[in-house]
Amino acid sequence: MHSVSESAISIDEGARTRRMQRTRAALVEHARTLTARRGLAGFTVEELCEHVGVSRRTFFNYFASKEDAVLGNPPAALTPEDRDEFVAGGDRTGPGSSPALLRGIARLAVALFERNDFTREQHRLRCEIVRSEPQLLARMMSLGESHQQDFAELIAAREGLSADDPFVRVTVRFVAGLIHDAVDEFFRTPDSPPFRDLLERDIGCAQRLLEHPLDLDDPTGIR
């Protein structure tokens, strides 16, 4: 009897999750469609809710503002389990960064990308809207900084460093550039390989670049 009850709860939770995902996707889609047609200032939250068939209260359960609905923010986020597993993967017993740090970061990036089920058309529309609405561009940049700070705190916790340590700061910005390049190529190229493969390739290129020690005082440029 107990197992039957647990199964029923699991099914209910699954159905609820799928319903919430559909509602969120509909809000994002209609927010972008209305913005493309009328501009960001050309419609209200109430009009958006009417198009989707939800209440204003329901809208604010998903998004803090109309701008966030257009941007699809927050995207699928890291779960507490993701965070715990990443931090636990650190090895602070030896010098330098933990050996699997880069792999751990890449796995988080792939997990997040795969949870955000963007199509190429959705990505194209989002980019067009952001380019035409300076307010959205500013909001997106602010969100990007917030996400990078969150990521920095995760890396700092894993490596036993402060979030403003130069190693943490450079790691976040460096990897963010690689991720951005892989995302851009994935959506720009119709027959693109999977994002996972693109990111792995880009990280490999970066590793080749950095595999030799740097000595700015060496006149030969060899060391």
Answer CATH for 1-68 from 3.40.50.300, 1.10.3720.10, 1.10.10.10, 1.10.10.60:
1.10.10.60
- Assign 3-class secondary structure to 56-120: HHHHHHHCCCHHHHHHCCCCCCCCHHHHHHHHHCCCCCCCCCCCCHHHHHHHHHHHHHHHCCCCH
H/E segment holding residue 32: helix 2-38
pLDDT in tens, 95-142: 567 889 999 999 999 998 988 767 888 888 888 999 999 889 999 888
* Domain layout of the chain by residue ranges: 1-68, 75-211
0.85 cut: is pTM over it? no
Q: Examine the pLDDT at 152 and tell me if it is beyond 80.
A: yes
Answer CATH for 75-211 from 3.40.50.1820, 2.60.120.260, 2.120.10.80, 1.10.357.10:
1.10.357.10
